[in-house]
A = this chain, B = another copy of it.
Amino acid sequence: MGPGKVRLSDVAAVAGVSLSTASKALNGSTRISGATRERVREAALRLDFRPDALAQSFASGRSRTVGVLTHRALSTFAQPVLIGAVLLLGERDQATLVYDGDVGVSRRLGHSVRELQARRIDGLLVIGDGHERVTASLTHHFGVPVSYAFTASDDPDDVVFLPDNELVGRMAAEHLVERGRRRIAHLTGPGTSIAVRLRESGFREVLAGAGLEPVGPVLRSGWGRDWGTQAMDRLLDSGTRVDAVFCGNDHIALGALEACTRRGVAVPDDIALIGVDNWEGVVVDQNTRQITTLDLQLEELGRRAAASLVDERPEPGQHRLAPTLVVGPST
């Protein structure tokens, strides 16, 4: 259906202007008389002109495609980052070329980098797998903007987006302190984890500001529900008086909740629990919404990182995204 493909030259002819003028009228913010612009626009509208994106890209050198490099086997946490990036890029009419592979392994990487260069991507987003690893900077391989999401880069001049894990700790502490809790313990993941250390540091900072410190020893080990149960039992067995626990993630918080329930400790009346991740089902979709959590806003992280490539280019350095407090109704 239709009179064949409409080209810009057809629009120009109908509008009674040259090809180059038509082009500028439609795209360029160049000096063009308002009247001419209107005439060209009308003609384009009337003819239902749609510029051939392939030709535009070829002529302009802009591919309207952003490359994305992800770390092999996208984790639960990295997935929303990629989703956010892909959706934002779509909103900007940018396609996404995703290569998955171990960003630390140069073999696969070499192929991906070459392909992305050949594609003349307009920008590159490197998505890592959390705060734990540092990605070797790839920025110098590309003549286009490169940003890093959910991983640090080893070049301080890179544009990096990370969840603000220190703020996570501060917000957890503030939430509990504001609600009158004073004897706050901390059960968390392995002490080798950067996220664990940052969260703990923010947590201690706010406590100190309120003239407090963590009650009992900070227990650091795993990220699983089992560990949460075990740690909570240990804490309560020790006889430490506790009125709140900051759990390093929601799995730990659920494990702690289980221990409390088993021992007849009321949550949150006797002990308030706060976790991290907004793990689906922890807060939503349960009567037993006894846990408050902090959402790392990972999809938004992906959106911001992608936007940094196609919208205004931000300052070099680490950009930290604030988490969101998701309050269990009874807390």
Contact = CB atoms under 8 A, between A and B. Distances in A.
Nearest to A99: B90
A41 interface: no
B96 A95 contact: yes
A55 interface: yes
Interface in A77-104: 79-80, 82-83, 86-87, 89-91, 93-100
Contacts of A82: 83, 86
A285 B255 CA distance: 11
A105 interface: no
A61 B97 CA distance: 18
B118 A51 contact: yes
B95 A285 contact: no
A58 B312 CA distance: 29
A97 to B, nearest CB: 4
Contact of A50 (B57, B76, B97, B118): B118
Contact of A58 (B50, B55, B119, B280): B55
Interface string A25-69: 000000000000000000000000011111101100101010000
B76 A100 contact: no
A251 interface: yes
A226 interface: yes
A19 interface: no
A50 B286 CA distance: 56
A86 B302 CA distance: 15
A132 interface: no
A167 B323 CA distance: 41
A120 interface: yes
Contacts of A120: 52-54
A287 interface: yes
A144 interface: no
Of the listed residues A50, A51, A279, the one surrounded by the most CB atoms of chain B closer than 10 A to its CB is A50
Nearest to A78: B83
Interface of A: 50-55, 57-58, 61, 63, 65, 74, 76, 79-80, 82-83, 86-87, 89-91, 93-100, 114-115, 117-120, 224-226, 251, 279-281, 285-288
26 contacts: A51-B118, A54-B54, A54-B57, A54-B58, A54-B61, A54-B63, A54-B119, A65-B65, A82-B83, A83-B83, A86-B86, A89-B98, A90-B97, A90-B98, A90-B99, A93-B115, A94-B97, A95-B95, A95-B96, A96-B98, A224-B286, A225-B281, A226-B286, A251-B285, A279-B281, A280-B280
